[in-house]
Amino acid sequence: MAPIAAFSFSTAVAAARRSSPSHLQLLARHRLPFSAAAASFSSAASPAAAASFGWEDALRVAADCGRGDESDLSGYFRKVDTCNRGMDKKGEFVEFIVEDQVVGYIHKGFIEHLRDFHDVFTVVLENNGSNTVERVTLHSSLRTPDERTNAVGYVVKCLGELIPGIRNELFPITSSYGMPVYFSLERAAAPYFGIKAYGVHMNGYVEKDGQKFLWIAKRSDMKQTYPGMLDHLVAGGLPYGISCEENVIKECEEEAGIPRSISSNAMSVGAISYMDIEGFRYKRDVLFCYDLKLPADFVPNNEDGEVDSFRLIPVRHAANIIRRTDFLKPNCNLVIIHFLFRHGFINPDCHGYLKLLESLRRGDCS
């Protein structure tokens, strides 16, 4: 969750000013049309009010085991659907191409805000044999990853309120995981360019008296996104220039005070993916999942101010919270459902078992 200060917008602007004055002159005099329709799309990503529930509410729901709904998977399916909205709107987006590879998808309405940046973005019309399709590419003069990062970064800054929540944290732009990086993009802007973003989520669990427990965090009320909601013990986006393993270790220290001597034992256990369309935003996320068995006497301690508190709760109680409430940050639900499968809390005798298992990779998991 903590920003990685690998490359800031101020650095990008300074570099762009040195390397491409003509770009900066155009961008500086550009004035964005900001319509009411655009404002309505943007508001979906505006900072939210803090969640109104407390631990007492969550634990009360969690501990109610008398409903007999343990084998009912419908609550889990609803959480998967929450992370995979708007697929009927895919036709409103066009491909974003870099070096002949599709790296993202941009809403036709959002393209209107990019057209005047004609020395950064090129909107082309191509005939695919049956009809004419629109595509977006980067200007041919932007040949290196650094040039592209600088130019696109300054455009993102110019777009202002269209892209709220700037974090000064760069994500690598690739066609798929492990492939060459074409440039880097501000994390908050990734959904507006339909960029595939990667992250790590770790289930921190404890075994006591033959029972498994999960450490659950409650996000700070000051968080810009999902304030006050329940969260994983450790989770974070995967920025440019760091491996998944090192990112897990770093986030363990920052978010839960877990030393490297313990966090280095975190085990990679798979991945989940989802695609979510809302207004101009097209989220295409892949989350690498990790499990870490913690000492029974371990107590997490947040180091970066992004967590309000932690609670250790039985895994079955965590499952109840997922099925019955909207208290957890949406994508955390999917990662914990993945945990429930792997640790036998969801079994093949549950109706819909295979369908639910398959749905955890509804997005482009590549």
CA distance 266 to 245: 8
CA angle 366, 168, 11 (to 5 degrees): 115
Interval 340-363: pLDDT, tens: 999 999 999 999 999 999 999 999
What local confidence, expressed as pLDDT, does residue 22 receive?
Answer: 39
Separation of alpha carbons 36 and 44, rounded Å? 13
Give residue 103's identity as a one-letter amino acid code: V
Write out the E strands in 64-191. 93-98, 101-107, 121-127, 132-138, 170-173, 183-186
CATH topology of domain 55-86+196-359: Nucleoside Triphosphate Pyrophosphohydrolase (3.90.79)
Instruction: Give the C-alpha separation, 281 to 85, whole Å.
Output: 11
What integer best gives the mean pLDDT of the chain?
87
Rounded percentage of the chain residues whose pLDDT exceeds 70: 86
Express each pLDDT in 53-102 by its tens digit.
999 999 999 988 766 677 899 999 999 999 999 999 999 999 999 999 99
Query: 101 is written with which tokens?
Result: 């590879």
CA distance 87 to 365: 16
What string of DSSP letters covers 112-140?
Answer: TTTTT-TTTEEEEEEE-SSSEEEEEEE-T
pLDDT digits (tens, 9 = 90+) for 14-29: 333 333 333 433 333 3
Buried b (16+ CB within 10 A) or exposed e, 288-303: bbbbbebeeebebebe
Q: Check residue 17 and give its pLDDT.
A: 37
Q: Residue 125's pLDDT is what? A: 86
CB 190 within 8 A of CB 275: no
pLDDT in tens, 211-270: 999 999 999 999 988 999 999 999 999 988 899 999 999 999 999 999 999 999 999 999
Q: Quote the tokens at residue 309.
A: 């508190």
Measured distance CA(179)–CA(366) in Å, rounded? 10
- A 10 A CB-CB count for 272 gives 24
pLDDT digits (tens, 9 = 90+) for 182-206: 999 999 999 999 999 999 999 999 9
- Mention every residue, 6+ apart, whose C-beta is less than 8 A from residue 78: none
Q: Hey, how many other C-beta atoms are within 10 angstroms of the C-beta on 172?
A: 23
Q: What is the structure's pLDDT at 35?
A: 32
Phi then psi dihedrals of residue 199, to 5 deg: -150, 175
pLDDT higher than 80, residue 48: no
Q: Where are the domains of the chain?
A: 9-44+87-193, 55-86+196-359
The domain made up of 9-44+87-193 is a member of CATH 3.30.750.160: yes
- Length of the chain in residues, anyone? 366
